[in-house]
Amino acid sequence: MYVRLVGSRVRSQLQYRASAALQIFGTTLIALLDLVTIVVIFDNVPELDGWTLQEVGLLYGIASISFALTDLVIGHLDRLPQMIRDGSFDQVLVRPLPSLLQVVASDFALRRLGKAVQGLGVLVWALTAVEVDWTAGRAAMIPLAIVSGAVIYAGVWVALATVAFWIVDAIEFVNAFTYGGNFLSQYPVSIFGRWLRGLVVFVIPIAFVAYFPALYVLDKSDGLGLPEWFRFASPLVAAVVALGARLVWGNAVRRYRSAGG
Amino acid sequence: MRLDWELARRGYRRYAAYPGATYAGLFTNVFFGFLLAYILLAVYERADVIGGYDVRDAIAYVWLAQGLLSVVASFGPSWIELAERVRTGDVATDLQRPVDLQRALFAQDVGRAGYQLLYRAAPQFLLGALLFEVTIPAEPVRWLAFAASVSLAIVVSFALRFIVNLTSFWLLDYRGTYLMALVASHVLSGLIVPLSFFPGTIGDVVRALPFAAMLQAPIDIYVGAPLGGSTALVLLLQGTWAVLLLAAGRALLAAGTRKLVLQGG
Amino acid sequence: MADHVIEVVGVEKSFVVRAKTGRLRRERREVTAVDGISFSIERGTIVGYLGPNGAGKSTTVKMLTGILVPSGGQIRVAGLDPSRQRIELARRIGVVFGQRSQLWWDLPLRDSFDLLRHIYRVPAERHRANLERFTEILALDAFLGTPVRQLSLGQRMRGELTAALLHDPEVVFLDEPTIGLDVVAKAAVREFLAEVNRARGVTVLLTTHDLADIERLCSRLLIIDHGRLIWDGGLDELKRRYGQERTLVIDLEEPAPPLEVPGARVTKVDGPRQWLAFRRDETSAAELTAAVAARARLVDLAIEETQIEEIVRRIYATGAAPPAS
Contact between residue C191 and residue C223 where contact means Cβ atoms under 8 Å apart:
no
* Overall average pLDDT of the B141-165 stretch: 90
Those residues of chain B whose CB sits closer than 8 Å to some CB in chain A are 18, 20-21, 23-25, 27-28, 31-32, 34-35, 38-39, 41-43, 45-47, 50-51, 176, 179, 183, 186-187, 192-193, 197-199
CB pairs under 8 A between A and B: 86
CB-based burial label for C298 (10 Å; 0-12, 13-18, 19+): middle
Residue A241: which domain range?
A: 2-255
Those residues of chain C whose CB sits closer than 8 Å to some CB in chain A are 13, 15-16, 33, 59, 62, 65-69, 71, 83, 86-88, 90-91, 93, 95, 97, 99-102, 104, 106-107, 111, 114-115, 118-120
Does residue A143 fall inside a structural domain?
yes
pLDDT value of residue A19 = 67
CA distance C17 to C26: 10
DSSP notation for B103-164: HHHHHHHHHHHHHHIIIIIHHHHHHHHHHS-------HHHHHHHHHHHHHHHHHHHHHHHHH
Residue C323, pLDDT above cutoff 50: no
Interface of A with B in 139-178 (CB under 8 A): 167-173, 175-177
CA distance C287 to C276: 13
pLDDT value of residue B265 = 47
Q: What is the pLDDT of residues B117-127, one digit of tens each?
A: 999 899 999 99
CA distance C41 to C43: 6
Q: What is the pLDDT of residues C3-22, one digit of tens each?
A: 788 888 888 888 877 666 55
pLDDT value of residue A260 = 64
Q: Give the DSSP letter of residue A209.
A: T
- Count up the domains in chain A and report the number: 1
CB contact under 8 A, A93 and C100: no
Which one of B32, B192, B199 has the shortest CB-CB distance to A43? B199
CA distance A73 to A6: 10
- CATH code, C44-63+82-240: 3.40.50.300
Q: What is the pLDDT of residues C71-115, one digit of tens each?
A: 888 999 999 999 899 999 999 999 998 777 888 887 889 888 998
pLDDT band at A209 (very low <50, low <70, confident <90, very high): very high
Residue C202, pLDDT above cutoff 90: yes
Closest CA to B160 of B239, B242, B217, B86: B242
Does residue A80 fall inside a structural domain?
yes
Query: Between residues A167 and C138, which one has the greater pLDDT?
Result: C138
Chain A and chain B touch, per 3+ beta carbon pairs within 8 A? yes
Q: Give the DSSP letter of residue A191.
A: G
**What's the mean pLDDT when you consider all of chain C?**
84
Does residue A261 fall inside a structural domain?
no
Question: Where along chain C do its domains lie?
Answer: 44-63+82-240, 244-305
**CA distances, C287 to each of A256, B91, B249, C247, C248 (Å):** 62, 66, 81, 13, 11
pLDDT value of residue C24 = 63
Which one of A41, A167, A192 has the shortest CB-CB distance to B38? A192
Q: State the fold for domain C244-305.
A: Alpha-Beta Plaits (3.30.70)
Residue C25, pLDDT above cutoff 70: no
- Structural element, H or E, at residue C247: strand C245-252
Which residues make Cβ contacts (< 8 Å) with residue C80, sequence separation at least 6? C88, C89, C92
* Overall average pLDDT of the C223-233 stretch: 84
